Amino acid sequence: MNLINGKIVDDTAAWQIESDLYPRICETLSKPKLDVNTVISACDEFVSGLTFDQYAALFEQLGITREAAEAYILRGKNEFGKEALCERLSRELGENRENIHPLGVLLHIAAGNADGLPVFSVLEGLLTGNINLLKLPSAVDVVTIPLLLRLFEIAPCLAEYVYVFDFSSKEITKTESLIQYADGVIVWGGDAAVSAFRRTVPPNVKLIEWGHKVSFAYVSKAVQEEELPLLAEHIAKTDGLLCSSCQGVYVDTEDLASAADFCERFLPYLSKCAAEKSYGVGITAHRTLYLENERLEGNRIWRGENCGITLRPDTALDSGAGFCCIWVKALPKEQILPVLKPYRNRLQTVGLLCPPERREELAELLFTAGATSVTHGDMSQSTLAHDGEYSLRRYVRICTM
Amino acid sequence: MDRNLYNLPKNDPSFFARTEKAVAYHAARCEAYEQLLERAGYTDRTIRSYDDLYRLPSIPTLFLKNHQMYSTNPRMAVFKATTSGTSGKKSVAALDLGTCLSALKMVARVMSYYGVISPVPVNYVVLGYQPNKSNELGVAKTAFGATLLAPALRRKYAIKFEDGIYTPDIDGTADALFRFSRQPFPVRIFGFPAYLKFLLDELHARGIRLTLPKNSGIYLAGGWKQFAGEQMSKPELFEYARDILGVPPQRCYDFYGAVEHPILYASCKCNRFHVPIYSRVLVRDAATLEPVPYGTPGLASLISPLVKSMPLVSVMTDDLLVMHEHCDCGIPSPCFEILGRASANDLKTCAASAAELLSK
């Protein structure tokens, strides 16, 4: 489905409009700058009226439980309510924004790994006053268009700032065609996607990359027991799918025996959270194959209900198998920098579980190694900046007169 | 009629003995395999029953992608094929001459059971990759091999190789079918189910309906991969093919096989894959890998002593399947249906990368 000027149109109509997009864009741009307060009020009204029942069918389609859905809604309210948005704008763009102008037209190439990400990206574009061309992710996306339609219901004037196109990533010519209208191209995705755009985007178009990142936990042997449940909850809640999802745990130790002790300690917590989830046979089989492979590789494994922990002898920062399967490795503090530094620009969140008196020192070391956010056990808590940068700043220009 | 091909009870004792011998053979020649068996705690290596087959460690394809395991010098291989894993890791199978000959014999026997081998010359439409020297994809080789089963007049490939790159050629394929339909020779269409559906859609959109010559047939292999949304059941797809191409469903076949397990399974008229005497398929619980009764879905160990160059005696693929003890078609051996993949999303494999080309 494509969405143009607040209306759903078929592919033929969408690409007919696309072939003659300049006059439309210029017309929109020639109007007075999009008032940021309009966007903020629309977002605020949107999230404050948000209830589970309103989108119950949609959540069911996505396989999201009521509890998880309510957590999402609460998070939406916290992040897109008036207060939060005003605070974010001041933080990222400053109080005096007279000299700040939108880039103009943003092309969003959204990824399919997080539901709602395309809408999130477009909202950031609107907050900075840009026109937004959105290429939907190839995966089936049932969220974006209903949410945007609701937003336009609240603030019809926003509709002309959003164009949603639905086509396969492999249709390179269509992507190239959209790039010709863009002042900035925002790419969410893996290395392959980012590299492809580095080759395609001409030098006079700003390329804004939000590439895939890896997150993990760093745990000291003296970690307090009460820190563990939050980490387990995070692992179960995100299934390893997000950039901020914990893929594995490094234990601050030199010997594998201590790392094995951690596996032993952590398993009951992970098992408890994982047992509450219901996975289909496909994911269960995926996890089983992964653990069987680890067993045949000769690695020690701990199995729990719907989950598994493998103890690996190396220190590489791998992605885990997801779905409550994590690795545990030994990484003494002295090794943090040499081991993690090569993953430059790949690290994101580190869940740091350690005694308070060591927190500052270890966090500093992790930042030096490349992490952009250090949290406690709940690694999915929102951060001040996305991947270490204030994203809104990248969607604007500073102009002087 | 080849009465013994699907008579497993009669073949069981010999199969157990050959499997036991194969395990010992590979363990003695391939150190990595011996280590794997030891790590898995496989000490009692006698095989006298199905319970013993269940005990034999089954190697996940993920393991094969990380370890190259050979029991003979891989340079002696006469046939190399890789799975088209676009996730970066490729699974390589290198088969020696003896294995290839056994495999060919097996393929010939299964194919002739279904009347696929024929002396009558035919026109081929391959809904897949045109082979070239640098293409080691298992699918390209199998697709070409398939066109040797009856003398070929013409071969039309839906993905053609030109100037060093592969490009889909649906127009050309539709034209070729139109031409072939006016000749007196049967047409054989080989390929992925998703491709067949796209071809039928294309013909349908152009208002073209053909009646392919008598004895024409459709031979499919592989899943739908990321086209799960487009998926039709096999009976629906075959009915659609009858409607557009005039090929009756009883002449539409589906095949199953894997690079890591080069045994050919052909679908019966009930659209199930029967296990021939060359292999055994054991289904395991998706969570515990314990044996499950007929009718319960799970992961499968594909067992065969056929391959001599690599220790592929028992492998576990990413497919989820369900086994049935009996089938209405009359073929006596147990049979299975493929239900999907052991994955949250569609894993990208052969059909997926072909599909990506198509949507370019």
pLDDT in tens, A97-155: 888 999 999 999 987 666 678 888 899 999 999 999 999 886 667 788 888 999 999 99
CA A400 to chain CA mean position, Å: 34
Instruction: Find residue B220's DSSP bridge partners.
Output: B191, B254
List, for residues B37-88, the tens digit of each pLDDT value: 999 999 999 999 999 999 999 999 889 888 888 998 777 666 666 665 444 4
Q: Would you list the DSSP string of A68-101?
A: HHHHHHHHHHHHHSHHHHHHHHHHHH-S--TTEE
- Residues of chain B in contact with residue A196, where contact means CB-CB under 8 angstroms, are none
By CB neighbour count within 10 A (0-12 exposed, 13-18 middle, 19+ buried), where does A331 fall?
buried
Residues A298, A365 share a domain:
yes
More confident of the two residues B340 and A358: A358
- Output b/e per residue, A380-393; b: 16+ Cβ within 10 A: beebeebbbeebbe
Quick check: helix, strand or coil at residue B164?
coil
Report the alpha-carbon distance of residue A355 to residue A351 in Å, rounded.
Answer: 13
Tell whether B344 lies on the interface with A, counting CB pairs under 8 A: yes
Nearest to A84 by CA among A40, A38, A31: A40
Q: Which residue has the tokens 């149109």?
A: A9
Contact (Cβ atoms closer than 8 angstroms) between residue A310 and residue A301: yes
List, for residues A168-225, the tens digit of each pLDDT value: 877 788 899 999 999 999 998 777 778 888 888 999 999 998 877 889 999 998 888 8
End-to-end CA distance of chain A: 42
Nearest to A285 by CA among B280, B256, B56, B300: B300
Mean pLDDT of chain A: 89
Task: Check which CATH number belongs to the domain holding A291 and give it.
Answer: 3.40.309.10
Q: What per-residue confidence (pLDDT) applies to B233?
A: 78
Residues A247, A192 share a domain:
no
Q: Report if residue A388 sits inside a domain.
A: no
Last residue of a domain, one of A180, A212, A244: A212
Amino acid at B263: I
Give CATH for domain B104-257+347-358: 3.40.50
- Residues of chain B in contact with residue A281, where contact means CB-CB under 8 angstroms, are 286, 297-298, 320
Instruction: Find residue A338's DSSP bridge partners.
Output: none
Residues A353, A235 share a domain:
yes
Report the alpha-carbon distance of residue A376 to residue A354 in Å, rounded.
Answer: 9
Tell whether B62 lies on the interface with A, counting CB pairs under 8 A: yes
Residues A21, A44 share a domain:
yes
What ranges do the domains of chain B cover? 104-257+347-358
Nearest to B219 by CA among B175, B270, B176, B256: B256
Contact (Cβ atoms closer than 8 angstroms) between residue B217 and residue B188: yes
Contact partners, residue A210, CB within 8 Å, separation at least 6 = A186, A187, A188, A386, A387, A391
Provide the shortest C-alpha distance from residue A28 to chain B (in Å): 32
Q: What per-residue confidence (pLDDT) applies to B95?
A: 76
Last residue of a domain, one of A212, A229, A254: A212
Q: What per-residue confidence (pLDDT) applies to B350?
A: 31
Q: Report if residue A164 sits inside a domain.
A: yes
Residues A281, A230 share a domain:
yes
Q: Which residue has the tokens 């809604």?
A: A73
List, for residues A231-274, the tens digit of each pLDDT value: 999 999 888 877 888 999 999 999 999 999 999 999 999 999 99
- The number of beta carbons lying within 10 Å of the beta carbon of residue A171 is 14
Residue A233: its H or E element = helix A228-238
Report the alpha-carbon distance of residue B354 to residue A399 in Å, rounded.
Answer: 48
Report the alpha-carbon distance of residue B46 to residue B64 in Å, rounded.
Answer: 24
Contact partners, residue A92, CB within 8 Å, separation at least 6 = A385, A390, A391, A392, A393
Tell whether B360 lies on the interface with A, counting CB pairs under 8 A: yes
Nearest to A193 by CA among A130, A119, A137: A137
Report the alpha-carbon distance of residue B90 to residue B137 in Å, rounded.
Answer: 10
Q: What per-residue confidence (pLDDT) applies to B287?
A: 92
Residues A307, A233 share a domain:
yes
Report the alpha-carbon distance of residue A395 to residue A186 in Å, rounded.
Answer: 9
Please give the angle made by the CA atoms of B221, B223 and B227, to the nearest 5 degrees: 135
Provide the shortest C-alpha distance from residue B163 to chain A (in Å): 20
> Which whole number is the average pLDDT over A329-354?
92
- Output b/e per residue, B146-166; b: 16+ Cβ within 10 A: bbebbeeebbbbbbebeeeeb
Domain that holds residue A233: 214-375
From residue A281, alpha-carbon distances to A303, A312, B281, B299 in Å are 17, 26, 19, 10
Q: What per-residue confidence (pLDDT) applies to B78?
A: 65
List, for residues A26-84, the tens digit of each pLDDT value: 999 999 999 999 999 999 998 888 888 888 887 777 777 777 778 778 878 888 889 98
Tell whether A191 lies on the interface with B, counting CB pairs under 8 A: no
- The number of beta carbons lying within 10 Å of the beta carbon of residue A232 is 23
Contact (Cβ atoms closer than 8 angstroms) between residue B213 and residue B125: no
Tell whether A12 lies on the interface with B, counting CB pairs under 8 A: no
List, for residues A320-340, the tens digit of each pLDDT value: 888 999 999 999 999 999 999
Residue A218: its H or E element = strand A214-220
Residues A223, A202 share a domain:
no
- Report residues of chain B scoring pLDDT below 70: 1, 76-93, 132-149, 163-165, 223-231, 344-360
Residues A197, A93 share a domain:
yes
Q: Report if residue A395 sits inside a domain.
A: no
Residues A262, A182 share a domain:
no
From residue B317, alpha-carbon distances to A288, A330, B107, B260, B297 in Å are 12, 32, 20, 8, 14
Q: What per-residue confidence (pLDDT) applies to A241?
A: 78
Q: Which residue has the tokens 């009718």?
A: B295
Quick check: helix, strand or coil at residue B217?
strand
Tell whether A176 lies on the interface with B, counting CB pairs under 8 A: no
Q: Report if residue A393 sits inside a domain.
A: no
Q: Report if residue A155 sits inside a domain.
A: yes
Tell whether A51 lies on the interface with B, counting CB pairs under 8 A: no
Report the alpha-carbon distance of residue B32 to residue B70 in Å, rounded.
Answer: 9
B63, B165, B260, B339: best to mutate for the A interface, most A CBs within 10 A: B63
Residues A108, A7 share a domain:
yes
Contact (Cβ atoms closer than 8 angstroms) between residue A130 and residue A105: yes
Report the alpha-carbon distance of residue A17 to residue A283 in Å, rounded.
Answer: 41
- Residues of chain A in contact with residue B289, where contact means CB-CB under 8 angstroms, are 288, 292
End-to-end CA distance of chain B: 46
Tokens of A323: 């779905």
Tell whether B341 lies on the interface with A, counting CB pairs under 8 A: yes
By CB neighbour count within 10 A (0-12 exposed, 13-18 middle, 19+ buried), where does A52 fall?
middle
ipTM score above 0.90: no
- Residues of chain A in contact with residue B59, where contact means CB-CB under 8 angstroms, are 296
Number of domains present in the structure of chain A: 2
pTM of the model: 0.78
Q: What per-residue confidence (pLDDT) applies to B92?
A: 65
Question: What confidence tier does A352 reach under pLDDT thresholds 50, 70, 90?
Answer: very high
- Residues of chain A in contact with residue B39, where contact means CB-CB under 8 angstroms, are 295-296, 298
Residues A141, A72 share a domain:
yes
